Amino acid sequence: METGSTLKENGLVIIEDNVAPISARLIANNASLKLRKKEIETLANKMDEERKKMQ
């Protein structure tokens, strides 16, 4: 939750909301993907669902 109280308490101000575009990547090596495919796909799906909520 962003209320700005920490900034105010420390005498700080936001100078720009978007400094640089960022992205996240999920990387799995081939051996892990073969052995733990279901787990990796589940994690990837959860990450995608959270990403969609933030848009």
pLDDT exceeds cutoff 60 at 54:
yes
Q: Give the tokens for residue 41.
A: 């796909």
- In a domain, residue 10? The reply is no
Q: Name the amino acid, one letter, at 48.
A: D
Q: Report how far residue 4's alpha carbon sits from residue 6's, in angstroms, rounded to the nearest whole number.
A: 6
Q: What is the pLDDT of residue 15?
A: 81
- In a domain, residue 5? The reply is no
- In a domain, residue 15? The reply is no
Q: The whole model's pTM is what?
A: 0.57
- The residue range of the domain holding 51 is 29-55
Q: What is the pLDDT of residues 1-53, one digit of tens each?
A: 567 788 889 998 888 777 788 888 899 999 999 999 999 999 999 999 998 99
DSSP assignment letter at 3: -
Q: What is the pLDDT of residue 4?
A: 78
- In a domain, residue 55? The reply is yes
- In a domain, residue 22? The reply is no
Q: What is the pLDDT of residue 21?
A: 83
Q: Structural domain tally of the chain?
A: 1
Q: Give the tokens for residue 34.
A: 């073969």
